[in-house]
Amino acid sequence: MTVLTPERRAARTPGKPTSLFIPELVYFEPDALSYPKGERIMEWVQELRIPYRMTTSHNRITNLPGEGELEQYKIAKRTLVVGVRKTLEFDQSKPSADYAIPIATGCMGHCHYCYLQTTLGAKPYVRVYVNTNDIMTAAKQYIEERAPEITTFEAACTSDPLGLEHITGSLAELIAFMAEEPLGRLRFVTKFQHVEPLLGIAHNHHTRIRFSVNSDYVIRHFEPATARFEERTRAAGQVARAGYPLGFIIAPIIWHDGWQEGYAELLAKLAEELPPEAGKDLTFEMIQHRFTKTAKAVIEKRYPKTKLEMDIDKRKKKWGRWGQNKYVYPDEQQNALREFITERIFEHFPASRIDYFT
Ligand code: SF4
């Protein structure tokens, strides 16, 4: 199997669109083939002549091709596992939503800072679930339990589901389902641009599509194998014209040489490229860069040449929800970043809302 480096895959030739993800190897859990979605994915795999294998469970995948940990990691990121979601208890997803709705786990992107580096540990392959009806039934129960409150579900907690939509169609199903739920709302975030299959769906304004954006420096240095900035903003324009509520997550906000120019340019470019209707119902979320000691060790191993600054001495220690200290920027830097970017947001989008800075 030929393994291209993430950098080569991500070669962002100007004007050349970021291509759809085609896995190099697919595993099927046998139960998955009893669902129509599992069958459809199998047909797609056979049509494209992608090599595939059967596995009793994703936990038993131990024989991925490739020599050495790094090569196996890269291959795992191009490996798809098609299975059934067994745990239908949803995790909480604060501050972005009430619950995480699980339709996929893992991602083919190679963002150096991605938290999946540690949460997925030794299993970084991309998993999709074929029992979407079970997942929607569980979501309905959560909505009913919280009535008359509105319940919000985040579909991108453990993956970038838009990058997998051409394989699964799961977002389209969730959007259509949520459109009929007076007290249900869906949201997801993406670094990909393939929104076409979602544009014609009757969404009833119950789904907010957010794009993850950043300064040119951060995108160029730390986000290989994702869509280019212009592709994301073009897709955001399409989403706004289709009447979806729209949002941007600026994350991770990174203190780098020229950060003020970088983030000012980001907001100015967004304002330039978006249609005027996009500004009417627009949200921003801001997340400063953070890391744990475990994440730092993993990132340095997987992306040994990364320019990502992870110097503990320059950071402020903060107790993390998962029992590990995380390292954020000292207050002075946090405040400077928050204030500067907030001003730029309201300068260009005075009617927008900032949901949080964390
Ligand atoms: S696109 Fe998102 S989920 Fe995928 S690697 Fe990048 S940060 Fe992680």
Mean pLDDT, range 117-142, rounded to an integer? 93
Please count the structural domains in the chain.
Answer: 1
**Does the structure show a pLDDT above 50 at 109?**
yes
Determine whether the shortest distance from the Cβ of 191 to ligand 1 is under 6 A. Answer: yes
Q: What average pLDDT does this structure show over 229-254?
A: 96
pLDDT of residue 149: 98
Q: Assess if residue 319 is contained within a domain.
A: no
Inform me whether the pLDDT recorded for 11 exceeds 50. Answer: no
Distances (CA, A) of 210 to 16, 113, 250, 262: 23, 19, 10, 20
What pLDDT, on the 0 to 100 scale, is given for residue 333? 98
Kindly state if the Cβ of 174 falls inside 6 Å of ligand 1.
no
**Confidence bin at 61 (pLDDT 50/70/90):** confident
Answer whether residue 52 is part of any domain. yes
The overall average pLDDT reported for the chain is 92
Residue closest by Cα to atom 6 of ligand 1: 111
Q: Domain for residue 157, yes or no?
A: yes
Bridge partner residues of 354 (DSSP): 284
Judge if the beta carbon of residue 109 lies within 6 A of ligand 1.
yes
Find the domain containing 74 and state its range. Answer: 22-190
Q: For residue 259, is it within any domain? A: no
For 165-216, what is each residue's pLDDT tens digit? 999 999 999 999 999 999 999 999 999 999 999 999 999 999 999 999 999 9
Provide the b/e sequence for 6-29 (b: ≥16 CB within 10 Å). beebbebeeeeebeebebbbbbbb
Q: What is the CATH number of the domain that holds 118?
A: 3.40.50.12110
CB of 190 closer than 6 angstroms to any ligand 1 atom? no
**Is 229 a member of any domain?**
no
Domain contains 31: yes
User: Is the pLDDT assigned to residue 5 strictly greater than 60?
Assistant: no
Nearest to 153 by CA among 94, 222, 79, 72: 94
Report yes or no on 110 lying in a domain.
Answer: yes
Å from CA of 51 to ligand 1 middle: 25
Tell me the best of 78, 119, 160, 254 to mutate to test the pocket of ligand 1, counting ligand atoms within 8 Å of each CB and taking the most.
Answer: 160
**Protein residue with its CA nearest to atom 1 in ligand 1:** 109
Q: How far apart are CA 41 and CA 165, in angstroms?
A: 11
- Strand, coil or helix: what is 29? coil
Predicted local confidence at residue 2, as pLDDT: 39
Tell whether 208 is covered by a domain.
no
